[in-house]
Amino acid sequence: MKYRKRIYYTDGQKGLMWDRWQRGESLHQIAALFDRRHTSVRRILAESGGIRPSQRRRSVRVLSLAVREEISRGMAAGKSMRTIAASLGRAPSTISRELGRNEGRQGYRASQADQAAWDRARRHKPCKLILHRALARQVASKLQQQWSPQQVAGWLQRTYPDDTSRQVSHETIYRTLYIQSRGALKQELLAHLRRTRGMRRSRHHTQKTPDHGRIKDTISISERPASAEDRAVPGHWEGDLLFGDRNSQIATLVERYTRYVMLVKVDGKDTETVVNALIKNARRLPKQLYQSLTWDRGKEMAAHRRFTLATDIQVYFCDPHHPWQRGSNENTNGLLRQYFPKGVSLSNVSQAELDEVARKLNERPRKTLGYETPAERYRQVVASIG
């Protein structure tokens, strides 16, 4: 293996790394710019957990290098502190403290004093979760229940609206998890996040581009009723298959108005097996709560017409390569990866276990519902039609 001499990146090079990282480029792509290995770049980015450090700036009130040069010249010329202070428009006490911190009259050097001041300014601000340990324990407890930082922050704000000491932003939670030097939350809690990576990635890093099949006689999502599009009434669902290892999968269904989740065990991904399972599940709900179903263009819904004939529920399909058009379901599938990680077989998961996972999801507060839970919103709908 070719040996490469270690280099020390300049501030400009580090800034370029962060720019590329925030645009979603990989470590390998960034490292290629410097003819380095990806580990060289990772070392820089991992120091702050993949979160770009804020740029340091000097306060306009502090002494600049130019001012310190004037102080140094004045000392060399034998001028008094009051004379130097008057010429700079500063208080004599300011000059006195500056000299006292930096070797006094005889040892004062402008460049050394300026660098020392810059180093002293690097004060650590205690994290809010360090100062409020009870709040940190509460946040950790919710994270262990697979809540996202945003859900935790929203729930705290809703639960303690008049007590800011018991509130914390989701960004603070993320930073405390990824920047371990803060020390308020244990790194093991990262395993409870939807994305369990050790560094925070840009939202632009990956985009899902699945290979969709072609289905006959589809009705486009553009023809879906306006009441379904604007979530004005309940009863319009989004669905998809969530895949595991060894040809295993489950069907996931999300109601657009309440974000209520149902999970359906399916023994195969062929269209007959999937449609039969969806028909059986649909019959569990009253007609008012199941009026339409929006699906991706996977071949498992090739027999969608049979589903409609059996249930009187119209199926709409997303445009090709547009899975984000059923965003509620895409988001839910991401949440489900906390319970069913990629590579884990789903073949031995029972319907009872799926129902338990769905219950946990439905009891998690959602930002889009004003931090109510889908279960609360769903019960309100059931009561209104009952």
Q: What DSSP letter does each residue of 211-255 carry, written as one string? A: -----TT--BGGGS-HHHHTT-SS-EEEEEEEE-BSS-EEEEEEE
pLDDT band at 212 (very low <50, low <70, confident <90, very high): very low
pLDDT band at 257 (very low <50, low <70, confident <90, very high): very high
Per-residue pLDDT tens over the stretch 311-356: 999 999 998 888 888 999 999 999 999 999 988 999 999 999 999 9
β-pair type (314-317, 236-243): unpaired
Using DSSP's 3-state secondary structure scheme, residue 145 falls into: coil
Closest CA to 176 of 146, 202, 153: 153
Which of left, alpha, beta for 89 (phi over 0: left; psi -120 to 50: alpha)?
Answer: left
Handedness of CA 191, 194, 197, 199 (dihedral sign): negative
Q: Which residues, at least 6 apart from 263, have a Cβ–Cβ distance to it below 8 Å?
A: 250, 251, 252, 253, 336, 354, 355, 357, 358
Per-residue pLDDT tens over the stretch 87-102: 999 999 999 999 999 9
Contact 252, 329 (CB under 8 A): yes
- Please give the share of the chain, as a percent, with pLDDT higher than 70: 94
Q: What is the pLDDT of residue 181?
A: 63
Residue 210 has pLDDT above 60, yes or no: no
Long-range contacts of 201-204 (CB under 8 A, 24+ apart): 201/24, 201/50, 202/21, 202/22, 202/23, 202/24, 203/24, 204/22, 204/23, 204/24
Q: What is the pLDDT of residue 206?
A: 53
Closest CA to 329 of 251, 240, 216: 240
Using DSSP's 3-state secondary structure scheme, residue 104 falls into: helix
Chain centroid to Cα 137, Å, comes to 21
Residue 197 has pLDDT above 80, yes or no: no
pLDDT band at 213 (very low <50, low <70, confident <90, very high): very low
Average pLDDT of the segment spanning 246-255: 93
β-pair type (236-243, 249-255): antiparallel
Residue 367 has pLDDT above 80, yes or no: yes
- Distance from C-alpha of 66 to C-alpha of 63, rounded to nearest angstrom: 8
Interhelix angle 92-101/110-120, nearest 10 degrees = 90
Per-residue pLDDT tens over the stretch 39-58: 888 888 888 788 888 777 78
pLDDT band at 60 (very low <50, low <70, confident <90, very high): confident
The reported pTM is 0.56
More confidently predicted of 4 and 21: 21
- Distance from C-alpha of 27 to C-alpha of 29, rounded to nearest angstrom: 6
Consecutive H or E run containing 316: strand 314-317
Structure tokens at 77: 């010329």
pLDDT band at 124 (very low <50, low <70, confident <90, very high): low
pLDDT band at 208 (very low <50, low <70, confident <90, very high): very low
Distances (CA, A) of 359 to 95, 255, 319: 67, 14, 31
* Bridge partners (DSSP) listed for residue 249: 243, 266
Consecutive H or E run containing 295: strand 292-295
The runs of H, that is alpha helices, within 337-373 are 351-362
- Please give the share of the chain, as a percent, with pLDDT higher than 90: 50
Average pLDDT of the segment spanning 371-378: 95
Q: Which residues, at least 6 apart from 41, have a Cβ–Cβ distance to it below 8 Å?
A: 17, 27, 30, 31, 34
Q: Which of 5-9, 142-146, 197-201 has the lowest mean pLDDT?
A: 197-201
Per-residue pLDDT tens over the stretch 130-164: 889 999 999 999 999 999 999 999 999 999 999 99
